[in-house]
Amino acid sequence: MNHTRTLLTILLLASAIFLGNCTIPRVDFVTPTETLTPDVNVTPTETPVPTPAPVELGLAENPLILALPPSADSAEQIKAANLIASQFTERTGYTVVTIVPDSYAALVDALENGNAHIVLLDPYAYTLAYQQGWVKAIYAVLKDGESMYGAQFLATRKGGFQSYYDSGSDENTAEANVALEQFTDKKPCWSDESSPSGYVIPLGFLNKNLIVTKPAAFVEGQPTVVRSLYATGICDFGATYVDARKFPSLEDEFPDLVEQVIVVWHTPDIIPYDVLAFSTGMPEGMRNLFANEIASIMQTQNGSEAFKSAYGIEALQGVNDGFYEEFRTYVDASNIDLTTLVK
């Protein structure tokens, strides 16, 4: 019994000595590094697709466009325009087609959008398109050998107005500021709101010379302006083309009209007839080529007849945009919104 207890005691001491001399190994737990998965949604770099080069103007895929006047409504006019287009193609090698715009406003829009290249414009449409940088004037249309005309200011002797125009020499005897000053605070009769000679240009001269008038009467028609002045009591002065007083029915109706309704002052001849113009989208060399071909075609009988039939053109005069500077100046001085004049 004692031996057994002694033996257990010895064993316990031996175990304690053994354990005290042993070192238990330390285990460190390390979090494993995360493995990155490639992003399969990354869009690979795309090879750029080259932009197709624009088709050269004048090829069949991008033809030059010859525009008729908006008033063109007859088969004869369209046939004549097609003849001109075919002559252009034959002589230059460029493809030319024709269109008929709905209005001058639509024609100006077509110039802006590159859908018209050779055009006949009225003075307002030309001025608007020129101001926007869409056209260059090439030819002035002549009427009775003239490329422009003027306007005249009229009044009555009974109204106490003084004339500054010499009919014998067909010249003014005073500058505009002197002659027109007598219209200050007087009432004008104008033809209509779009007439160059019966409203827009005369108004431009009044404004340019700081002449302030009473509100105007629009009497619809230049002979009516003359008739209104002769009747008196409607307005004090007016403006017309030269010389609306000699309109046949007026002379028959009022034999003394020329003596009673006097010319106070003439504007210079700055109002153009129609303008044949080219789009600025045409290269300069192409514009020069077609300008020369127009002159050549007009010298042939068929070509001359075609231009007369399609456009009412009998004769042309070569011009540039500077030729119309005075007209543009007085249209601007009228303070009328040009877009309301392009119809």
CATH of the domain at 314: 3.40.190.10
Extended beta strands in 113-253, E state: 118-121, 135-141, 148-149, 151-156, 165-166, 171-172, 188-190, 217-218, 237-241
**Does residue 220 share a domain with residue 119?**
no
Q: Token pair for residue 336? A: 């009328």
pLDDT confidence of residue 252: 85
**Does residue 311 share a domain with residue 282?**
yes
Task: State the total domains in the chain.
Answer: 2
pLDDT in tens, 120-167: 999 999 999 999 999 999 999 999 999 999 999 999 999 999 999 999
DSSP state for residue 81 in the 8-state scheme: H
Instruction: With respect to residue 38, please indicate whether it lies within any of the assigned structural domains.
Output: no
**Does residue 122 share a domain with residue 191?**
no
Q: What is the dihedral of CA 139, 144, 149, 151, to 10 degrees?
A: -160
**Does residue 124 share a domain with residue 169?**
no
**Does residue 167 share a domain with residue 255?**
yes
Enclosing domain of residue 106 = 64-146+272-340
Instruction: With respect to residue 106, please indicate whether it lies within any of the assigned structural domains.
Output: yes
Q: What is the pTM of this model?
A: 0.83
d(CA 247, CA 251): 6
pLDDT confidence of residue 46: 63
**Does residue 250 share a domain with residue 157?**
yes
**Does residue 212 share a domain with residue 181?**
yes
Instruction: With respect to residue 95, please indicate whether it lies within any of the assigned structural domains.
Output: yes
The mean pLDDT value of the chain amounts to: 89
Instruction: With respect to residue 19, please indicate whether it lies within any of the assigned structural domains.
Output: no
